Structure 1
Amino acid sequence: MNELNDLIQTGTISDIRETLDFLLNECSLDETPDRETVQIWAQILQQRGGKFASLAKLCEQFLQETVA
């Protein structure tokens, strides 16, 4: 997931949004990222701030919907 972490840290909002939409909503269950990974992404996006905060909320929503 290093490439994905790099994308979350440095990518454009449109690239990240498209990737998150696929990973959190469209891919098969065996490809869905684990909760810990999504939590890390949410933290990174929150730290990036501004327009990326809305993407952090997508991660948080996913985490709420997939309560372990």
Structure 2
Amino acid sequence: MQATTQLFQTASAGECAEILDFWLNECSLDQAPDTQTVQQWQQLFQQRGNKFNRLASLCQQWLNETDSL
């Protein structure tokens, strides 16, 4: 996950959105990120601002859904 986090620091919003969608919605449960990692991604996207705010919201939605399981 460290490589993904590093990628999120520099990649375009479109590229980040595609990768984030995979990790949050498409990968198997044994490959899925833990809540701490998704919280880190959310903070990173919030810091990047603008187009990345939508991605931070997706992270929050995933965290909310995970908490309710």
RMSD of Structure 2 on Structure 1 (CA): 1.0
Aligned to 2:52: 52
> Structure 1: 5+ residue runs without aligned partners?
none
What TM-score comes out, normalization by structure 2 length?
A: 0.94
Q: CA deviation at 1:7?
A: 1.1
Query: 1:15 corresponds to which letter in structure 2?
Result: E
Q: What is the aligned partner in structure 2 of residue 42 from structure 1?
A: 42
CA distance in 2, matches of 1:4, 1:19: 8
Q: Sequence identity, in percent?
A: 53
Q: Does 1:63 align with 2:66?
A: no
**Counterpart in 2 of 1:8?**
8
| Runs of 4+ residues over 6 Å off in structure 1 | none
Secondary structure of the structure 1 residue equivalent to 2:33: coil
Shift of 1:31: 0.5
